[in-house]
Every structure is written in structure tokens, then in C-alpha cells.
Amino acid sequence: MASSSTGKKIQVDATDDELTEREEEEEELEHFDDFTLASSWERFISEIEAVLRLWMSDGPNNLLEKGAVLLEDSGNLYKVKSEMKYAMKSYCMEYYFKTNPDVDAGKLADWSCGLHDLQLCFGVKEFLVIAPQSASGVVLDAPEASKLLSAVAIALSNCSSLWPAFVPVHDPSRKAYIGIQSMGTVFTRRFEADRIGSQVPVKLMHLEGLYELFASKFAYSTLDLSVHNFKVRFAMKLTFRTLPYDDDNMKDAKITTSGENLTGEMSHGTQWDDDCSWSEWYSAEDPVKGFELIAIWSEKMVESSMEMAELENASPHEAEKWLMSLRPEGSSGNWIGFASELRVLVDALQMSFEAQFMEDFVSAENPGSDNLKSSMVIPPPTVRDRVLKELFIEGAQFSDFANSGHKTYRAIKGAPLGSLFAQFCLHSLWFGNCNIRAIAVLWIEFAREVRWCWEESQLLPRMPANGSIDLSTCLINQKLQMLAICIEKKCQLNEDYQDCIGSLDQIDSMSEDESVVGNDSFSIQTPSEDFSGKVDRKPEDVDLLNDKKPSDLTRRGSVGILDSMMLLKSHQSMHAPYTQEAPLMTEDMHEERLKAVEAFGDSFNFSAQLERDILTSVHAKILQYNNIRRDRPIMALLLDMSAFKAANPEAIFEDFIRWHSPGDWEEDDDPEGSKSSSSSALDIKKSKESWPPQGRLSKRMSEHGNLWRKLWNSAPALPASEQKPLLDPFREGEKVLHYLETLQPHELLEQMVCTAFRAAADTLSQTSYGELKQMETEMQQLYLTMASALRPLQINRLSADSETIEDLRRLSVAFEQVEKLLILAASLHRKLIQAPRLSREIFSDYYNFYIRTTRTGLTTEDIGEKEFDKKQVVRDHEREVLSNMFVPPTANQSWRKVLSMGNLLNGHEPILREIIFSLRDRVNGNHYAARGGSVSQQEIETYRMYICGTSNDLRVALSVISCD
């Protein structure tokens, strides 16, 4: 019996275990979704729920790794999305979240913070949006919208999620939404937003009516809202915008007594950039379309309609905070500036290799002229004549070009800004759209005008007529400088010749009785004249009469006595002679002489006949000796010797070396002499006492057959006034004209490109833009980039298919970016000259935005879609500067828009008014949901209304918490 009872007990226990397992299996079956009997709407809810659970389990950090997209201009707001189908329709559900939402907690009412539209409207942080994948992107059918929102709400409830969900409804232009959010308790928040696009009720145009609209949402409908007080929270943001530039604005610009424009706009009848450096060549569209001023009233408590009426009459100066933002002008079509024309000039350079001479591009016999004529238009003769008039007739005379460019401009081998060729290149950019035919026509006429100046002995405008030739410039500029000097010397020779002829005629007209014959006190020296009719340009030097020795009577061309220097073979002081200046040479002339030196070598061991030919022929090649003082050629050395002999008739070769090349005279070691020469002032008396000087020639000068001694032995005693000039202005002038008239097209265009880039950059660098370090850096980098890109043009290694052409096109793109930035910087500086800090901060923000959008490989379409909206806080002392930009509207402007709102700024109503009303209450006696925490005695926002718009446009977004 015992065993029987024990078996029954084991069986009962086993039965209990089976029941427990069966109950657990039934519990598992309860959580199983049987989709064989589920409707399509239930399956849609389940699909939404699966996506929501996945997003909730991943969390923000994992969602970022899975490809969440950062929304631009919205702080750290990210977005993920998922697509799903229901009832033959496709929907897209998006989840907006922040990586660290606690950081921005309590800042949703901060107007300066970049917020999403739904965050601003409803005060939410993270949220869902579900919308159909259609052209409109909204749900047009009300039942469908309600059903869609219900599906999302059920899915969120199943996931125990507190995310708010929104569905866009109605027409897209209305920006209407409906939404719902579970509060984790018995409370539910519902959202609704809509917009009135026209016929806004007059009552809702004013703060008083908007206050009563909000109060009507929670007050009894039978109450007169205008006489009852309701404590609500109020915050407001007003946006003002400066008027766009037009004729009316110019008439009313505020001008101070000092002539300063406080509005930053231009005065009547002028363009905004009339006094800018580029205005001579083009008028740039003002890149600053205007400014937006945002006045913010922080959250405060209001109690009545009367208080709202008083706020409407308040001045924007009473606002707690001012923000300012720049409204840059959008890109409208092709931008015109230096960069756009430089790009066309590069195209002309590529085409310049198609012809041998510039005349071929305009000649009717050129086979390709028909294609050129059809695609490239030459401006009419009147335009060409006007350009030539500006270059030659109205051209300014020479000015100092040394300080006209950037400090690194010499790295670019072009003509200096303001010079004749630089002006020609800048004019060419705008002549016939800078096509190759127009350039050819202008250059041919330019060369003719230059020849006319030469033949008529007219000074060449915009070119220096003295000094040395600047070899750091392009060859054309060197040639024009050489021609200007030749014209000047030609004019001097003509004047001397005319003076001489006039003096001779005056003497011939005198009677024989009046003339003095045989009187040594009256003599006329006829200027020496060569075969070409040229006369000496220097007057005869005054002879020194203080010495009575016979040898001194033949002394000529002396500047004066050299202190402490005595001649070696006579007890006389050494005289310094007048000498001719070193011959002027252009770069190509230096290259020819260098080739001659390389051909003959340094030894000068050539035949006597070749020496004689070099010394006697004016047109022969000039050889250079390495150690000649001041890099003077042999002909100049010979003339120096002649001048020294004339000034020192009893001098020997060693005397000349002591004066001309002191390094080749070695003094003997004499302690007493050294002490005497260094212990006191050097004078003639002590020098005579220590005569004769002790020393000897250097080794190279004492060698047998030394060229210098040969030259000394053959040099006649001639002062500089009787010597033939080293520079033949007639010959050199004709050589310059021949070069200009036979210059090959690609050689001309290469120098034009270098000069045009340099001159354009130098022009822009003269712009005043304040203390903007970024702009200074950009200009420095531009010069370095130009120097690198233009270097191949300076060594004449270019062809039509060269990669340099593409490099130059890329250079023009970089030039355009800097040019646009500089014009913007200049406009900002002019408008905010009394608020330099704002100018610097705004430009710095825009610079970072511009660099990010233009130098990160984005396409033009991507850049065009981006808008710059960075805001700067305006300090108290800067408010008056911004206020002056809002010029009171004139009678012509006042009819354009009827003033219907308050808070005017100098007569301007805000273009946008944003208001947030809110009502808060404490929650008591809550029932909690699965994830709901204790919110006992917690203050929540039970009513919230966001209002945005103007007198003609009103958008209202309402969120209400209700008890289900």
C-alpha cells in the first residue's frame, strides 16, 4: 500500500510539472503573431513596430555608424529613414534625433539655435515623420491621414516609446501637420499646424488678437477674453530686412556732414563701387544684398490684452538681444569680372598658335578667317579709337610703379600696373570680349600709335623716360621703356641742334664791325656732329684754371680733384673724369651678349684684327669681361679710358687702374704710410708729401698681352662730351618698333596673359577692405599661385596643346574665387565701417562657408542650393550703426506695403514675426504606463502655440495635452 501511495504521489507531481510547461507554452503562443488571420493594416503596424524597435535598440551612436544623415544648419540633428508599403502605397518613415539631447535641453525657445521646423513649432526634441512617397509628399485625404497616424501611434505604444509622430497633410504650401505623442501616463499630447496664406483677419495681425486666440484654447468659450486676465508665457522674435538697393533708397541715404554714408549704400546717381579700384574696368554687382536684423524678447509672463498692446508699441531697441545676418546676393547667370575675361584671354592664347603674324587674324586671305569672323566680333572703330585715346592722348605720364603692386608682384614677369602695356592688356580684356581677332586689331593700331609717337618725337605716355630698364618686367614693357628713353634722347638732340643752328644764324646776322675777330676771350664751340646729324647732349666742361702748368691747359672733362690720389709719373693731383652712363639693354640684348661671351670665352685670345673690329665697329657684338667695374662692356671701358686721359693728360695705365679698378692695385706694406693715411683726414698736401705712391698692378693686369693695356694704348684722349654716345637712340628706337610690329601672336599673348593676371591682381589688391586677415592671406596665396602657374610662359616653352593652358584655366577659377571674396569684403567694410568687429566676424563666417562650398569638390548646383545664414550677436554700442541702415521709407515706398503690425524700426515693419505662447501646469494623480516614471508634482507645458507670419501670411502650430 505504501508503494502504491508513493507512486500516486510521483504521478501527481509529474502532472503538475506538465501543467506548468503547458502554461508556459500557452504564454509563448500568446506572443506569437498569426499573420494568416491579420489584416493588411495590422501587418503594416507590425512592420512599423519592427522598424521602431530596431531604431530604439541601436541608439543614436549605432545609428550614426549605420549611415544616419546630418541635417545642415540644424545643429547636431540627424536623420534615418525606412520605406514600407500599405494598401498599394509606399510610405517613408523618418526618425530625427540628436546624439546628445540633454545638452540642448531647455534651449528650444532659444531663437539663435538652429532648429528643425517641427522642433520650433511644437517644442519637441526627437520625433518621427511618416509621409507618402509621392510628388507632394503629403497626405491629401483626411481619413487616410488619421489612419496613418493611428498606425504609428499603436506601434509606438507597443514599443513603449515616447517619441512624437507627425503626418504632413493638406497642400504642401500650407505646411500643415497632425501629430500625437504619448506622455507615458494617461495624458496624450496632440499636435496640429496650419497656415493662412491670404486674407488674415485684422484681429490676428496684432499681438492683442493673437493673445486672445491662444487664451481661447483653454478658457471657457462664454468668457469675454478681452476683459479677463490669463497668465501665459510669451516670447517673440522679430526679423527686419534692409530694403534692396534702388533709386528711391539712394535719394534718402543718410549723409553726415563729413560726407560719410551711414547706410552703407551709394549716393544718388552713382554706383556702390564707384570709388573702388576695379570700377575703372567694370561695375560689380553688390554682393551684399542686404542685412537681416533679429530682435528677440526672451520668455516673460503676460497677464492681459492691454499688456500685449503695450508690447506691440515697443521699439525693437528694447529687445533683450539683437542678432545680425548677411544676405549675400545669389549667383545670377554668368558672373562678370576680371576672372571671366582672363578665362577668355587664355582661350585667345591657345588660338594664337594658329597664325604667324597678328595680321593673319584679321586678313581676308586667311583660310580660317571665315570661322573667326562668324564667331568673334570686332568692336566698331569708334570703340577702338576711344581705347587708343585713353591709352595715348589721355594717358598719364610716368609715375612711380614700384609701389603700385603687391609685395610679391616681381615674381610674375609682367608689366607694372599703370604702365602703357599693362593698360593695353586691361583694355584688351574688355575689347570685343577679348577674342583673338579683337586683340589683333587693337595691337596693330597700338603699334601704329607707338610708331607715330616715335616719328613725331612725342613722349610715350605711361612710361619712364629715364633710369635703367627693369629686367624683372616682360620684354614688351622693356622695349617700350627703351623706346621712351630713345624718344627723350632724340628730343634732347633735336633741341641742342636747334639751339646750335639758332646761335649760328645770330652770328651770321651780325655786321663785320660788331663781330670780334681774333679775340681769344670770345669763341664759339660747334657741337661735334657725326654722320647721322646727331650732336653731343652734354655741354663742354669748365676747365680748371687754378693750376698754371702747361699740361693743365689741355685738361678737359674733369669733374674735380680726387682727394689723396696723385699721378704716378707727375707730381699732380688725379682728376675724376665725366663718363658716359652704362648702355641700356633689354633682356634679349643681354642674352645676345651672353651668347657672344660663351662663343668667344673669357680669355680674349683672339686676333688683333677681331679686336680692332670690335673696338671700331659701333654695330659689332659687345663682349663683357667678368671683372669689369659696374658690368660695363668693352666699348664703355674704352670710352672711360679716353675720358680719363682727357682729364689727366700725364696719366699712365697704372693711374687708370687705381681709379677705375682699385682691387687690381696692390699697395706696398708701409706701416708709416698706412698710419699716416689712416690717422688723419686725407688731403692733397699730405698726399704730395708721400709721393710717389708705392704699389703695383695685380697679377691679371700685369700679364703679357692684357686686353686692358691694349685698350689703354689705343684709346684717344677724348672727354665724354666729345665721345660718340654708347646709346644710339635712332637705331635702338627703330629696333624696338621692328620688334613690336613683327611680334609673333603667341609671344604677344604669353606676355599679355602674364601682365593681365598681374595687373588685375594689383588692381584688386588696392581695394580697402579693413583688417580682414583671411583676405590678406588669400591675396598672398593668389600671387604665389599665379607665379607658379605663369612660370612656363616666362621661359617660352608653350604650345597649343600644352598642359599649361589647362593650368591657366584653373588659375582663372581660383582668381574668380578670390575676386568674389574681395568684392564682398570691400562691400562689408563700406557698410560696416563704424562697426569693424561685425565686419570681421561676418566675413570670417562667410569665408568659412564659401571655402567649404567652393573648395570641397561640390558642383555648382550643390553650391547654389546652400544658403548662408550664420548670425552674429550685436553689441549694445553697435545697435545704432545697424539702425541707421534702415532708412525711413519715402512716400514712393510707403504705398507698396500697408503697415499693419507694430514694433516698427525707423518706420519699417518686420518681415517676419514669430511668437510662442505657452501655459504650464502641474500634473497630479497620474496613472503610469509601462515605462512611465514618476512625474508627481512635475510642471508640464499643457498648451503651446507657435505663431509665425506677417500681416498677409499667418502660420499657427498648436500642441495640447489631454487626459485619455
Say what the pLDDT of residue 521 is. Answer: 33
More confident residue, 751 or 15: 751
Cell digits for 114?
538652429
Residues 842 and 757: their CA atoms lie apart, in Å, by 29
In this structure, the number of other CB atoms found within 10 A of the CB of residue 600 comes to 15
Residue 542: how many other CB atoms lie within 10 Å: 7
Confidence of residue 348 (pLDDT cuts 50, 70, 90): very high
Rounded average pLDDT over 817-837 = 93
Q: 734-757 pLDDT, tens per residue?
A: 999 999 999 999 999 999 999 999
pLDDT recorded at residue 960:
94
Query: Residue 342's closest CA among 757, 880, 56?
Result: 757
Answer for the pair 520, 610: CB distance below 8 angstroms, yes or no.
no
Mean pLDDT along residues 500-522 = 44
- Phi and psi angles of residue 559, each rounded to the nearest 5 degrees, phi first: -80, -35
pLDDT (mean) for 787-801: 81
Distance between CA atoms of residues 557 and 641, nearest Å: 12
Per residue in 150-176, is it b (16+ CB within 10 Å) or e — as a string? ebbbbbbeebebebbbbbbbbeeebbb
Q: CA neighbours within 13 Å on the CB side: how many for 133? A: 13
Q: How confident is the model at residue 372 (pLDDT cuts 50, 70, 90)?
A: low
Pick 841 or 888 by higher pLDDT: 841
Q: What is the pLDDT of residue 551?
A: 42
pLDDT computed for residue 235 by the predictor: 94
For position 735, what pLDDT does the model report? Answer: 94
Orientation of helix 436-455 relative to helix 381-388, angle to 10°: 50
Triad 849, 852, 853: Cα angle to 5°:
85
DSSP H helical ranges for 742-870: 745-765, 773-794, 803-831, 836-854, 860-865
pTM: 0.75
Residue 3 contacts by C-beta under 8 Å, 6 or more apart in sequence?
A: none
Name residues whose C-beta falls within 8 Å of residue 663's C-beta, 6 or more positions apart in sequence: 627, 698
| Higher local confidence (pLDDT), 560 or 855 | 560
Question: Does 516 have pLDDT greater than 50?
Answer: no
pLDDT in tens, 844-873: 999 998 888 776 554 444 444 467 888 899
Instruction: Give pLDDT tens digits for 580-609.
Output: 887 788 888 888 877 765 665 443 433 333
pLDDT of residue 642 exceeding 50: yes
CB 636, CB 726: distance < 8 Å: yes
* Range of 179-188, 261-270, 890-899, 932-941 with top mean pLDDT: 179-188
pLDDT-based confidence at residue 94 (cuts at 50, 70, 90): very high
Q: Which of 27-31, 568-572, 577-581, 935-939 has the lowest mean pLDDT?
A: 27-31
Phi, psi torsion values for 206, nearest 5 degrees: -120, 155
In this model, does residue 315 exceed pLDDT 60?
A: yes
| Beta bridge pairs of residue 300 | 234
DSSP state of 338: H
Instruction: Tell me what pLDDT residue 394 has.
Output: 64
- Asked if pLDDT for residue 548 goes beyond 70, the answer is no
Strands (E), 354-432: none
**Taking the CB of residue 470, how many other CB atoms lie within 10 A of it?**
17
Tell me which range, 494-503, 716-725, 829-838, is most confidently predicted by mean pLDDT: 829-838
Averaged pLDDT for residues 193-209 = 88
Query: What are the E-state strand segments in 117-156?
Result: 127-132
**How high is the mean pLDDT of the chain?**
78
Highest mean pLDDT among 46-60, 179-193, 404-418, 459-473: 46-60
Inform me whether the pLDDT recorded for 547 exceeds 60: no
The yes-or-no verdict on residue 541 having pLDDT over 70 is: no
**Burial classification of residue 97, based on how many CB atoms lie within 10 Å of its CB (0-12 exposed, 13-18 middle, 19 or more buried):** buried
Residues in the chain, overall count: 964
| 204-208, 289-293, 751-755, 933-937: the lowest-pLDDT one | 933-937
Distance CA 462, CA 417 (A): 10
Can you read off the three cell numbers belonging to residue 303? Answer: 497677464
pLDDT bucket at 827, cuts 50 / 70 / 90: very high
12 has pLDDT over 50: no
Rounded distance between C-alpha atoms, residue 8 and residue 5, angstroms? 5
Evaluate the omega torsion of the peptide bond into residue 692 and state whether it is cis, within 30 degrees of 0: yes
| Residue that has been written with the C-alpha cell 499693419 in this structure | 900
* Residue 68: DSSP 8-state: P
Residue with cell 633735336: 494
Give start and end residues of each alpha helix (H) in 337-435: 338-351, 369-375, 381-388, 420-429
* CA distances from residue 647 to 515, 523, 650 in whole angstroms, order as listed: 33, 21, 9
DSSP classification of residue 222: T
**What's the whole-number mean pLDDT along residues 8-30?**
51
The pLDDT, as a whole number, for residue 374 is 53
Name the band, by pLDDT with cuts 50, 70 and 90, for residue 528: very low
180 touches 204 (CB < 8 A): no
Kindly indicate the confidence band of residue 939, based on its pLDDT and cuts at 50, 70 and 90.
Answer: confident
CA distance 841 to 16: 80
Of the two residues 550 and 544, the one the predictor is more confident about is 550
Find the mean pLDDT for residues 21-29: 54
Phi, psi of 629 (to 5 degrees): -65, 135
pLDDT of residue 933: 46
Q: For residues 675 and 333, which has the higher predicted lDDT (pLDDT)?
A: 333
**Residue located via cell numbers 588660338:** 351
Model pLDDT, residue 542: 33
Rounded Cα distance, 718 and 640, in Å: 9
Distance CA(358)–CA(366), nearest Å, equals 11
What pLDDT score was predicted for residue 242? 87
pLDDT tens-digit series, residues 896-907: 455 577 888 988
Lowest-pLDDT choice from 52-61, 576-585, 829-838: 576-585
* Helix/strand/coil for 682: coil
